[in-house]
Every structure is written in C-alpha cells, then in structure tokens.
Amino acid sequence: MSDWTVKTREAGEGTSVVYVNGYLNSRTGKELERVIHDVLDAERPRVVLNFERTRLINSIGISSIIGVVERMTERQGTLAFCSLNRINQELLRITGVSRYVRAFDSEEEALSYFAQSV
C-alpha cells in the first residue's frame, strides 16, 4: 500500500506536476484533492496530472478527478493530463472528463504546451 501516493513538483513559474502512483481510489483521491488545493493556494495555477504510474482509476477516483476539474475551473487554473494508459484514457473518455481537460502523451508535451501559453 505504500506505493499508493500523490506527489508533486514545481516545473517552472506557476506550474506544478502532480504524480498519482498506484490506484486512484478514495484514499488517493482525497490526497489528490488536498494536493491540488495546496498547489492552487501556492498560486501555481497550471497543473499537469501525470498518470504514468497510475494502474487503475476506480469510480471514486473519477469523482475525485471531477472535483479537481471543478476546483481548477473555480480558481481559473489550467489542468492537463499526461501519460494515461489505454484503460484510464477510455474511462476518462466514457465519463466525459476528457472533454474538459487536454491530454498529452508525455509530461514534456504538457509542460511545453503550458510554456507556450504563458
């Protein structure tokens, strides 16, 4: 269970990368929402959610992602996803979340997108 974590790093002025490791479920979902809240409070309005090490997103995890999208919208932030595996990409498409967030194949592509929009 120790590999189920949410970590963050600064990636330039106003940009953070948040890494979701393991399963995105109720426990990691709550941690993800807390981290996003902290990042926005630190005036870092651009966030890349990196799902490279996310094995599976369950229904509560989807709910947490929806909460993150809503929080980012309320705070006028910009959110991007990257490194989604095929299953998680399909889950986000089916639930409609992917209509509101741009997805990239890699973290580098997402960060490059943010650098161009500054």
Q: Cα dihedral angle (87, 88, 93, 98), rounded to 10 degrees?
A: -150
Q: Would you give per-residue pLDDT tens digits along the chain (118 residues)? A: 456 689 999 998 899 999 999 999 999 999 999 999 999 999 999 999 999 999 999 999 999 999 999 999 999 999 999 999 999 999 999 999 999 999 999 999 999 999 887 6
Instruction: Give the residue ranges of DSSP H helices in the chain.
Output: 26-41, 59-74, 86-95, 107-116
Domains, the chain, ordered by start: 5-111 (3.30.750.24)
